Amino acid sequence: MDLAAHVDDRSPRGIAATVARLVRGGDLRPGDRLPTVRVLSAELGVSPATVSGAWRALAAVGIVTSRGRSGTVVLPPPAAWLPPRYRDLAGGAPARLDLSSGTPDPELLPLIGPALTRVAAQRPSAETGAYLASPVVPALEALLRESWPFAPQRITVVDGALDAMSRTLERVAGFGSRVAVENPGFPPLFDLLDHLGLERVPVTLDHQGMRPDELRNALETGARVVVVQPRAQNPTAVSMTATRARELAGVLRRHDAIVVEDDHSGEIASARDVSLGVFLPDRVVHVRSYSKSHGPDLRIAAVGGPATVLDALVARRMLGPGWTSRLLQHVLVDLLTDSTALEAVAHARRVYFARRRALREALATHGVLVDPGDGINLWLPVHDERTALVRLEAAGVRVAPGTPFRADTPSGTLELLPTGSGSVPETARARDSGTGDHVRITVGLLDRETDEVARALAVAATV
C-alpha cells in the first residue's frame, strides 16, 4: 500500500495516527510490513527521526513491533477479554518457536481418550448429577488425602489453581488488605489482587524460596495473607527447600497470617512436595493444580486446608458452578490410578528435567550460567528486556517479557518501557533476587534446536 498517500499530518503524531487508523480499518493487517524509515521519510520529505518517532509511538502502544533488521510489522490486536498482565504476555508477534506460553508440552500429557472410554463404560451417572452430594467424588478425595503433604481438615476440587486462589482470597482478605507475594511472581495473581482491591507486598526469593527476612518485613508491615509457590516457582523455577519451609514457618508463627500455597506444577515438578502446612496445618490452604501434569483443559485443582476457609469456599461455590464436573473428576481418578497414565506423567517429569538441563548446559558453553531450577520455566537475566525480546524475535524465538512478572510495578508497565539500557527504573530494582531485567523461557517446550536457542538467548542477554 502507498502509505505516504494517506498521510496528511507529517508530524510523528500524525504519521502514527494514520497507521493506527489504517490498522483499525483493516487496510493494514497483522504481519504487514511498514515501509522503512528511510523510504517513508524520503517520500514524505521529512527527517528519518520523524518517522522513527512515529514507529516508536506505535510500538509503545502495541500496534507494531520492530523486528530489528527485518523491519517494522503490524501486530495482532490485543484481546479485550484478557486481564492486563495476560494481555502483556499475549502481545508480540507469532514466532517460529514459541517458548512464551508457560504451558506444558501437549505431547507429554497422559492420553485422555482411553480414560474417557473406561469412565464412560463404568457409567457413574446416578452420582454425577447430584446437587446436594459432596462436590468431590469420594474416590478422588481418598487419592488426594493419601498424597496431600499434610493432613487437611477439608479438601475439595475447583476449576484450576487460579480459581482456588481467587475463591480463597475472597474468603480470607477484605478490600484493602495487604497480601505478601513473591517477586517476581505469577502475573495473573497480581491482576487478581488488583481486581479484589488487595495491596501487594513484594517478597523476593533466593535459591531456597521466599527470603525469611523479607517475609518478616512484609508481615510487620501488616500483610495478613501470604501467597507462595512451593515448587518450580513461576517464573524463577526455584523450589522451596525443607529447611526454608521450617524457617518460614518460624517467622509465620509470630504473626497471625494465612498462607495460600500454589503448587501449580504438581506432579511434573522434580522437587518434593514441601508444604508449610506440615508446621501450620490450621493456617495453610494448599492448592495443587493438575493443569501442567494432566492438561490445562481438565480445569481441575484440588484445594485443602482449614475448615473455616474451605467450608465457606464450598458453600459459596454451591451458589455458582456447584461442583467441578464429576465426569472429569472420574477421568482424573482414572489417570491417577492407571499404570500407563502414571508412567506418562513420570516420563513427562523426566523429559522436562532433561530439557532444562540441556538448555542450561548449552547456555553455559556461551558463558551464561543459570541455576538448575525445576519445572517448565527458566528465568534468564538480560541486560535490557526490550532489546532481548527484539533480538529473539529476529531469531524466530518468542519468550515472555519479564516485566509482567514483577510484583513491584503496576500493570501496563510493559508499554511504557523505553528501548535502551536498563528498562526498569533503578529505584525499582531489587538488590538481588532476580528482579532486574529478565525474560521467561518455557524450556519445557524446547524439544529441538537447543543449541541454536541457547546461542540466540546468549546474544539477546548481552549489552
Ligand X SMILES: Cc1ncc(COP(=O)(O)O)c(C=O)c1O
Q: Is 356 exposed, middle or buried (0-12, 13-18, 19+ CB in 10 A)?
A: buried
Site string for ligand X, 228-257 (x = CB under 6 A): -x----x-----------------------
Q: 160, 150, 375, 411: which is closest to 270 by C-alpha?
A: 375
- The three grid cell numbers given for residue 285, joined into one nine-digit string: 490452604
State the Cα–Cα distance between residues 21 and 27, nearest whole angstrom.
9
Which is nearer to ligand X, 36 or 166 (by Cβ)? 166
User: Contact letters (x/-) for ligand X, 433-462, by CB under 6 A?
Assistant: ------------------------------
Among 105, 247, 262, 267, binds ligand X (CB under 6 A): 262
Question: Out of 50, 291, 411, 413, which residue is the one contacting ligand X (CB under 6 A)?
Answer: 291
> Which CB, 172 or 181, lies closer to ligand X?
181
Q: Which stretch binds ligand X (CB under 6 A): 57-65, 121-129, 154-162, 384-392?
A: 154-162
Residue 173 binding ligand X, by CB under 6 A:
no
Please report whether residue 396 would count as binding ligand X according to CB under 6 A: no
- Cell numbers at 393, concatenated: 524475535
- Provide the terminal-to-terminal Cα distance of the chain, rounded to the nearest Å: 36
CA 51 to each of CA 38, 74, 75, 218: distance values in angstroms, whole numbers, following the listed order: 8, 15, 18, 47
Contact predicate 99/342, CB 8 Å? no
- CA angle (66 as vertex; 60, 68 as ends), nearest 5: 145
Please state, in angstroms and rounded to a whole number, the distance separating the CA atoms of residues 40 and 242: 61
Spell out, one character per residue from 4 to 33, where the chain touches ligand X: x when CB under 6 A holds, - when not.
------------------------------
Comparison of 159 and 393: residue with beta carbon closer to ligand X: 159
Residue at grid coordinates 523486528: 67
Instruction: State yes or no: residue 334 binds ligand X (CB under 6 A).
Output: no
Residue from 35, 53, 102, 110 in contact with ligand X (CB under 6 A): 102
Residue range at the interface with ligand X (CB under 6 A); choices 4-12, 158-166, 354-362, 423-431: 158-166
Quote the least distance from Cβ 234 to ligand X, whole Å. 4
Q: H or E stretch including 302?
A: strand 301-305
Q: Shortest approach of ligand X to residue 189 CB, angstroms?
A: 7
Among 181, 214, 177, 169, CA closest to 197: 177
* Interacting positions 176-215 with ligand X (CB under 6 A): 186
Instruction: Name the residues that contact ligand X, by CB under 6 A.
Output: 102, 160-162, 186, 229, 234, 262, 264, 289, 291, 296, 301
